Amino acid sequence: MISRRDFLQASMAASAIVGASGFGQWGKLAAQQLLTQDQLLEFDTFGNVTLIHITDIHAQLKPIWFREPEINLGVGDNKGAVPHITGADFRRAYGIEDGSPSHYALTYNDFTSLARGYGRLGGIDRVATVVNAIRGDRPDAILLDGGDTWHGSYTCYHTQGQDVVNVMNMLKPDAMTFHWEFTLGSERVREHLSNLPYAALGQNIFDSEWDEPAEDFAPYKFFERGGAKVAVIGQAFPYMPIANPGWMFPEYSFGIRDERMQEMVNEVRGMGADVVVVLSHNGFDVDKAMASRVQGIDVILSGHTHDALPEPYLVNETIVVASGSNGKFVSRVDLDIRDGRMMGFKHKLIPIFADVITPDADVAAAIDAERAPFADQLNEVIGKTAEDTLLYRRGNFNGSWDDLICQALIDERDADISMSPGVRWGPSVLPGQEITREDLWNVTSMTYPNAYRTEMTGEFIHTIMEDVADNLFNEDPYYQQGGDMVRVGGMGYKIDITKPIGSRISEMTLLKTGELIDPAKTYVVAGWASVNEGTEGPAIWDVVENYIRRQGTVSVAPNTSVQVVGA
Amino acid sequence: MQITRRNTLLMTVGTAIAAAVPFKAMANADAAIDALLNGAEAGSEGLTLIAPEIAENGNTVPIEVNAPGATMIAVFAGGNPTPEVATFTFGPLAGSHSASTRMRLAGTQDVIAIAQMPDGSFVRASQEVKVTIGGCGG
């Protein structure tokens, strides 16, 4: 009997890129001279099956800056566990040198200076180069897209996803699963599906009327590779109609449905699958839990929570792979499949350093062609960031982009308090940089952008805060929706993440007066991205553009209004 | 930008906020379950209750119960004013001992199923179903 442990060859991008030396410098880094494409792609082909995973691209066809989170707290069994470690703790856990390319790609510290040294990450033309290189090693490698692909940019919004679909098709994926795609509306989704040259998977996508599997999506697809039968089961985002507007896709119902996942695993095993891969948009904590509840899954390719991990996470006999977001990373997973089982694997998280990897010329031309009709709008400069202000979003409680959006809502909409959704997508803008309309749309683009203005009682605001906090900090991952905490402007609060729903949030304070929020009193609240049908108000990108234009140069002070207890 | 209150209104983050589950409702459920069990202890093996962790729509929550060999399965909504949801009975010739239905939930609460086996013993299963205002998926 061969122990799986003997075959554990998870390699880390960090050491693969720069060896053990690292750079050990904070300032100007001649990254381009030290990093080469060959180093990034270096991989001794292993076994007989190769999987390529990319997920949560959010329509970012061009290279971007993207600062990873500083605050990413786990609760219950996940307290302090992967992926809930950040910064120096993350680097120590994975043996990443300070100042190294992996430091820059995977952690938040010293982001601005490292960004200036190492340049942007991502770009689907660069991703194409990486995919083609892997296919050079293993021509029948399986390319899997974890979803959140047809959402998140100016051009994606104005073409209803067509620009991304056209570009992604050139990469020839083999299968995909879904989340934000549904916010295009179910009719548009089916239009895309009818032309999709690869499998649309989701074992948990049901017909909401009959509570039966939806006919528009297959639960799984088989691939014959290297003499092995590979079954890929799709798992779409489980909380679609709760976290996003259900009225946009009323025909579909979702849910985790791990009983059916078990049935599907048993079914494909019964049909002779030698290896079972789940292409998931569950989010990492849910995938960890599902790996322990559903028996017989070999590999989970995890998406949704935007975690990027240099090594797979092991749950018993299942490996869970997290490949980041916004086109920053591609995971390559080579598998040794023999005698109807996975005997070993080799893994590499490949950071897409845009200045190091040569763009694929055809894909680069196609991206430019998609953008050309919108060039004037995309490139229009609407303001500038001050030298002290890096605009970023990721983090459990606030990001400077959201602080800016919340301030714009208060100012432009004459409100006491503002709220901005705790989504995890949205690239960064460096200090002292021009802010273009494209930059703004990258953090606001969606099909339900209306900025509402309404009155809420203090009690109601508290209920909202508690509700969203429970979506993030419920100790049972199956009750987590995978976003971050709602961003709040004009109001401070204290949160104890260890408490149950109803008692996490306290000391809600109206910042402009310093007074505690009165449960019985009414406050004017402005916000956006409501899941309710018929929400009225101007689009959020117009509200924020007006505000930035009035400011000229935007400076965002560090947010000190959220007090976190129990972290 | 012109700001007028009139042209910009309308609610948002959630119209249907679930009120806290009243203690009285849970007491109603406990009383109904006690009456059914009539002092007997309920085991935990042999009854499967499938319900969503978070309801997509609290007004129509699909659930499924399955207890091989059972003569009866009763379903309770712990937080509803009227906790008795359904009772399914199975005759000796029943081919399967499962049932599914949809129920309305007044708010986040436990859904409880009690099955009675042919020897008269009881089995219990329960799951929390959250009714949430949602709104912030990453």
Number of alpha helices (DSSP H) and beta strands (DSSP E) in chain B: 1, 8
At residue B1 the predicted structure's pLDDT band, cuts being 50, 70 and 90, is very low
> Residue B132 pLDDT > 50, yes or no?
yes
Residue numbers in B near A419 (CB within 8 A): 13
Q: Structural domains in chain A?
A: 4-369 (3.60.21.10), 380-565 (3.90.780.10)
Residue numbers in B near A255 (CB within 8 A): 52-53, 56
Contact B136 A483 (CB under 8 A): yes
The region that residue A346 occupies, defined by phi over 0 for left and psi between -120 and 50 for alpha, beta otherwise, is beta
Predicted pLDDT at B13: 37
Give tens-digit pLDDT for A255-305. 999 999 999 999 999 999 999 999 999 999 999 999 999 999 999 999 999
Nearest CA in chain B to A283: B138
Residue numbers in B near A241 (CB within 8 A): 56-57
CA pair distance B16, B108, nearest whole angstrom: 12
Nearest CA in chain A to B17: A463
- This model of the complex carries an ipTM of 0.81
Q: How far is B35 from chain A (nearest CA, A)?
A: 31
Give tens-digit pLDDT for B47-96. 999 999 999 999 999 999 999 999 999 999 999 999 999 999 999 889 89
CA pair distance A426, A5, nearest whole angstrom: 38
Predicted pLDDT at A457: 96
Nearest CA in chain B to A528: B12
CB A26 within 8 A of CB A110: yes
At residue B23 the predicted structure's pLDDT band, cuts being 50, 70 and 90, is low
Predicted pLDDT at A34: 75
CA pair distance A418, A438, nearest whole angstrom: 23
CB A319 within 8 A of CB A297: no
Q: Residue A335 contacts by C-beta under 8 Å, 6 or more apart in sequence? A: A46, A47, A48, A49, A50, A51, A275, A298, A299, A342, A344, A345
Establish if B98 touches chain A: CB-CB under 8 angstroms: no
Establish if A502 touches chain B: CB-CB under 8 angstroms: yes
Q: What values do phi and psi take at A275, rounded to 5?
A: -150, 140
CB A360 within 8 A of CB A132: yes
Nearest to A104 by CA among A15, A26, A20, A11: A26
Establish if A534 touches chain B: CB-CB under 8 angstroms: yes
Predicted pLDDT at B27: 80
Average pLDDT of B7-17?
36
CB A405 within 8 A of CB A99: no
Mean pLDDT, chain B, whole residue set: 82
User: What size, in residues, is chain B?
Assistant: 138
Establish if B22 touches chain A: CB-CB under 8 angstroms: no
Q: Structural domains in chain B?
A: 17-129 (2.60.40.2470)
Predicted pLDDT at B24: 62
Residue numbers of chain A with a pLDDT score lower than 70: 1-33
DSSP A282: S
Residue numbers in B near A240 (CB within 8 A): 137
Predicted pLDDT at B134: 61
Q: How far is A269 from chain B (nearest CA, A)?
A: 23
